[in-house]
Amino acid sequence: MKTSRCIAILLFGLLQISNAQKWVDTLYNFQQINDIPYGTNYDFAGNIRTHLLNVTVPVNDTAPVCGRPLLLAIHGGAFLAGNKDSDAPPNWIKDFARRGYTCASINYRLGMFHTDSYIHCNVANWDCLNMQDTAEWYRGAYRAMQDAKGALRFC
């Protein structure tokens, strides 16, 4: 009885491993569609911004019945800088599309109000960063999260 149970567990494990390789190995070619509008919102200064995303999908594969996993690539930049076409996100979406994922790299609202005051560091003759009230950071992060959720709903 124990032997048959161990064999069943082993076969189940091997089946899972062989099925998981689909999402690990770089087996697929991909197609990328750039600058798809996924929404509009007001930025910190009251200007309307149109949000864009790039989508990359595998092309030489049949999609599973339940659909493909989605990778949403969100660039860094402390809510002040960056975009979907710079740094790592373009490489991420191509690499994961080669593994069978549907991938999207998004832009989100950037910016916040600045003041003329400085935060002084413990380094002589150097001011770290022209910062603003921490509430601005929270509002910038909240706007970025709203945009990311909108992109997820769109995809």
Residue 84 lies in a domain: yes
Tens of pLDDT, residue by residue over 52-93, are 999 999 998 888 888 889 999 999 888 878 899 988 899 999
pLDDT at residue number 14? 46
DSSP letter for each residue of 40-58: EEE-TTS-EEEEEEEEEEE
CA-angle at 30, arms to 28 and 35, nearest 5°: 160
Higher local confidence (pLDDT), 132 or 71: 71
Asked if pLDDT for residue 6 goes beyond 90, the answer is no
Mean pLDDT, range 126-141, rounded to an integer: 69
Residue 3 lies in a domain: no
Mean of the per-residue pLDDT values of the chain: 80
Looking at the 3D structure of the chain, how many domains does it have?
1
Residue 19 lies in a domain: no
pLDDT at residue number 13? 52
Q: 130 lies in which domain range?
A: 27-154
Residue 7 lies in a domain: no
Mean pLDDT, range 115-124, rounded to an integer: 56
Are 101 and 23 spatial neighbours (Cβ–Cβ below 8 Å)? yes
Q: Which residues contact 116 (CB under 8 A, 6 or more apart)?
A: 130
For 44, the token pair is: 């910190």
pLDDT at residue number 119? 56
Residues of the chain above pLDDT 90, percent: 45
Mean pLDDT, range 17-36, rounded to an integer: 80
Mean pLDDT, range 113-130, rounded to an integer: 57
Residue 109 lies in a domain: yes
Residue 1 lies in a domain: no
Tens of pLDDT, residue by residue over 98-116, are 999 999 999 999 877 655 5
Residue 147 lies in a domain: yes
pLDDT at residue number 7? 59
Residue 17 lies in a domain: no
Q: Which residues contact 26 (CB under 8 A, 6 or more apart)?
A: 95, 98, 99
